[in-house]
Structure 1
Amino acid sequence: MEDTCCNEAKNVVEVSNDTDDCRLRFDGRKSDEIRNVSITRNFTKYAQGSVLIEMGNTKVICTAFVDDAVPPFIKGTGSGWISAEYSMIPSATLTRKKRDVNKGRVDGRSQEIQRLIGRSIRSVVDLEKLGERTIWIDCDVIQADGGTRTASITGAFVALADALYTLYKKGELKKMPVSSLLSAVSVGVVDGEVLLDVCYEEDSCAEVDTNVVMNNRGEFIEIQGTGEERPFSKKELEIILDYAEKGNRELMRLQRAVLGEVADSIIGCEYEREAIIATGNMHKLEEIRTMVSDLDFEIKSLKDVGLQDIEIVENGKTFEHNALIKARTIARATGKISIGDDSGIEVDALGKRPGIFSARYAGENATDEENRKKMFSELEGVPFEKRTARFVCVIAVVFPDGKEMLSRGIVEGKIDFEEKGENGFGYDCMFIPEGHEKTFGELSSEIKNSMSHRSRALEDMKTKLKAILDERTI
């Protein structure tokens, strides 16, 4: 999304796109380009949420009105409801359209569209958390130039978000009952070419007509596809869905921009794709950098941010607590995503000691050799089958808005009767991992790293981190 501007006085955000790889259409757009879009919030006075959405020459007023009553079929359930109505004013089209009231019924097209709007909006709202109230969504087309149903859904979501945020700020809702952003866009095939966001001139001669509703997680809510003049191929459908995803992401970026803190209350603020790791250990730093290298995510050291001399008191009682202490300390100091970790070995015959004291088991400044010597001494006479132990690593990630995440990696094994091997450090030469007959000190670095407690914790951290970044990035 480019060329975005904001008029704070009117609460307006406008967007236009520019791509370089598609031929121009009659209106100057390229095939994968949406029309200029403008969303004006607070467009009317009385509805809790109201929007004027303009997509090219299509203009729709969308309102969300809160009613403290529900339909009879859900009364007494504690759940709420969302209902939508859609119509065009008589002068919305080139030829005057008769009002439905004068025809004595809502025409079939309007019924189909308002049901689509209602289904789409309900898909991202937890109706139980809404409570026994109805949100009435009204979409009134004041000018039609193609894509009125998709513009209605995109605008209606913004109006709904404003209405629910009003209830939330008043304390009538404990939290925003919305799971994601939502938008819709049309894609057509004209003269064999797939076109995103078709206007009336294109829609009227389209061979294939589709409307695609999506959320910000890239999931499809509804796909309406019709071969108007001919069947369409799987390859065409793949292009249609690719274009629809591109267009919907642009529309949801616009929604996020215009909604501001309201959008943050739904999907959270968007995080910078960088983190500070609370360590001076370059090996550990490189290991984490390698693990997240495919996430477009930068890992910085304490030295990179001028905190190499910071003192962190690890006085926690668990691996989790110590990891959080490190990450929280750096997060407070930098305002960035911060990563801390703690690891050690637990021996069952020793009551899971040394645990968090693994590095100083034999004393505050004990060497690895002194720590191993003490463990051998305390395990003297304990048979091999009862020398069960595990390496544990816990990684904590703390985000700028206070969100916290923990990942734990464990390798089960047993403590041998003597030191074997010279690879690794600490307790590696006395620990035989489950499924092996050699100690970590005897195994190659490649084998050890592929199954280590740290690598397992890192893999879990990467999975969780990606999910959090993806759900907040459009």
Structure 2
Amino acid sequence: MIRHTGRTPRELRNIQIKTNVFKYPEGSVVIAFGDTEVICNATVQPQASKQAASAQGWISVEYNQLPRATGQRQSRKSLTAADENLSETIGKALRGVCDLSRLEEREIVIDCDVVQADGATQSASLTGAFVALRLAVNRLLAQNELASDPIRENVAGVGVALLPDGTCVLDPDEYEEEQALVGMSLVMNEGGDFLSIQAFGADTSFSGNDLNELLHYGVVGIESLIAAQKEALVDKTHEVPEKTIVIATGNVGKAKEFAALFGAAGYEIKTLKDFPDLPDVAETGTTFEANARLKAETISQLIQQPVLADDSGLCVDALSGMPGVYSARFAGEQKSDAANNAKLLHELYDVPDEKRGAHFHCTLVFAAPQKDSLVVSADWYGRIGRIPRGDYGFGYDPLFIPDGMEKTSAELLPAEKNHLSHRGQAMAKLQDQWQAWLEGPVKGA
């Protein structure tokens, strides 16, 4: 089916997000979903709302339509009950992806003013409001006014509808909203969790299959909108030399491990510290490869450069492979090496030495525009000791005793460890392949 605008059922309207449009707000955005246009301005206020809990900040939203946003001029008025409900829905979604305690008793107010309404004003407002919030928080972080980033992940919204002929459509405009038997407004975070589902429509019923199709279309649409948010937030003025490879880490020490490998072929190395405006990529995968792909392919798409990412972790036999992809946050989101090691020793307290087998795993994913990603993996086998030993390394190194040794990984000199380790083995595999892959033909050539 082709819709009245020429779009396919699963196709979004043309999405445009312009950032830093205005002089005064800490974050300003003009977002367009087709002919729907919304101005989203974020203002940082030094004192949190009375609604905030003690010692934490708050995020609030005021949604409104300008008098001539529709076909007939409406009188200027105070917020209606419907406007207040939309304001709270958007505000709740934004608060749902933030740690408000990290705002440190300040409030960010986001004004969403609909300039032109052609359907999906709530979805456009929420999607733009997040970008305005991100810009305001980035400014606070750059000015060292926040100790840490309060935003955990992106969030966006989209509309879906069931038309009279039984067709499900994504991102309906005003005409399709008026024709729809059922309309649905969805809000979802980057991790794939719904924060809000609102359904409305005529006096009719619809099937479970219709519901599943509407939800599926909505998920596809929101994933595209989050990608558009991230692209809008990238600093496109950042010039990158032609022969540059970006290592998807902020850890300069880890990047140095790759400098010799790529430098010998004349490539310059950069890290995420060279791209401070890049949004964080949520590691929502359930495998090492999935997480490494998410980082490498998302960042490569955003900056149009070759990007190498790794995902590594410890897999313990007696724990059915745990902590695995959760290695960095095994003991909690604070990502403490000491806490992770303490939790691991606790979990293995009564496990005999002969059953304390484990291995480190590393997957490297090399992504580049117009290329299928290059993937290599390696494992380093050993066992888990009973007390931490050694001053080198990081993470679980003080507990990991490689096969054939009595020393822990943290007792090995860095050069020896780098040669034996899972990352060292993966880099050796990469060394044999990367240059022919990167300098070879692109897809479709």
Tell me the distance in 2 between the aligned counterparts of 1:295 and 1:72: 39
Aligned AA (2:18): T
* CA offsets 1:112-138 (integer angstroms, 9 cap, x no match): 111111111111011001110000010
**Deviation for aligned residue 1:410:** 6.1
Tell me the distance in 1 between the aligned counterparts of 2:50 and 2:315: 56
Tell me the distance in 2 between the aligned counterparts of 1:219 and 1:41: 26
SS of equivalent residue, structure 1 residue 163:
helix
What do you get for the CA RMSD once the two structures are aligned?
Answer: 3.6
SS of equivalent residue, structure 1 residue 135:
strand
Aligned AA (1:209): G
Tell me the distance in 1 between the aligned counterparts of 2:283 and 2:191: 15
Q: Which residue of 2 aligns with 1:94?
A: 71
Q: 2:58 aligns with which of 78, 81, 87?
A: 81
2:131/2:229 contact within 8 Å kept: yes
Q: 2:88 aligns with which of 111, 115, 118?
A: 115
* CA offsets 1:389-425 (integer angstroms, 9 cap, x no match): 345233054879xxxxx9998699xxxxxxxxxxxxx
Q: Which residue of 1 aligns with 2:410?
A: none
Structure 1 residues 130 and 208: CA distance shift in structure 2, 3 A: same
Tell me the distance in 2 between the aligned counterparts of 1:399 and 1:294: 11
Q: Which residue of 2 aligns with 1:45?
A: 23
Q: Which residue of 1 aligns with 2:357?
A: 392
Tell me the distance in 2 between the aligned counterparts of 1:93 and 1:161: 29
* CA offsets 1:241-292 (integer angstroms, 9 cap, x no match): 0000000001011111111256744336999xxxxxxxxxxxxxxxxxxx98
**1:72 and 2:50 aligned:** yes
1:216/1:249 contact within 8 Å kept: yes
Q: Which residue of 1 aligns with 2:216?
A: 242
Q: Which residue of 1 aligns with 2:167?
A: 193
Aligned AA (2:144): G
**Deviation for aligned residue 1:174:** 1.7
**Deviation for aligned residue 1:194:** 0.8
Aligned AA (2:62): E
Tell me the distance in 2 between the aligned counterparts of 1:296 and 1:113: 37
**1:24 and 2:2 aligned:** yes
Aligned AA (2:227): R
**1:127 and 2:100 aligned:** yes
Structure 1 residues 158 and 292: CA distance shift in structure 2, 3 A: closer
Aligned AA (1:83): S
| Structure 2 counterparts to residues 3-402 of structure 1, below 5 A | 23-74=1-52, 77-101=54-78, 106-191=79-164, 192-260=166-234, 264-267=278-281, 336-337=309-310, 389-390=354-355, 392-397=357-362
**Deviation for aligned residue 1:109:** 1.6
* CA offsets 1:129-184 (integer angstroms, 9 cap, x no match): 11100000100000000000100000000000000010011111122111111100
Tell me the distance in 1 between the aligned counterparts of 2:106 and 2:220: 35
1:179/1:267 contact within 8 Å kept: no
1:52/1:59 contact within 8 Å kept: yes
Structure 1 residues 293 and 202: CA distance shift in structure 2, 3 A: same
**Deviation for aligned residue 1:45:** 0.9
Tell me the distance in 2 between the aligned counterparts of 1:199 and 1:254: 19
**Deviation for aligned residue 1:226:** 1.7
1:176/1:266 contact within 8 Å kept: no
Structure 1 residues 409 and 51: CA distance shift in structure 2, 3 A: farther
Gaps of 5+ in 1: 1-22, 272-290, 298-333, 345-386, 401-405, 413-425, 428-453, 455-474
Aligned AA (1:26): H
Aligned AA (1:221): L
| Structure 2 counterparts to residues 403-418 of structure 1, below 5 A | none
Tell me the distance in 1 between the aligned counterparts of 2:208 and 2:117: 30
Tell me the distance in 2 between the aligned counterparts of 1:198 and 1:338: 39
Structure 1 residues 224 and 46: CA distance shift in structure 2, 3 A: same
SS of equivalent residue, structure 1 residue 38:
strand
- Bigger Rg, which one: 1
SS of equivalent residue, structure 2 residue 280:
helix
**Deviation for aligned residue 1:111:** 1.3
Q: Which residue of 2 aligns with 1:472?
A: none
TM-score, normalised to structure 1, is 0.55
Q: Which residue of 2 aligns with 1:352?
A: none
**Deviation for aligned residue 1:93:** 0.2
1:390/1:411 contact within 8 Å kept: no
Structure 1 residues 409 and 238: CA distance shift in structure 2, 3 A: farther
* CA offsets 1:41-72 (integer angstroms, 9 cap, x no match): 01111110010001100000001100001223
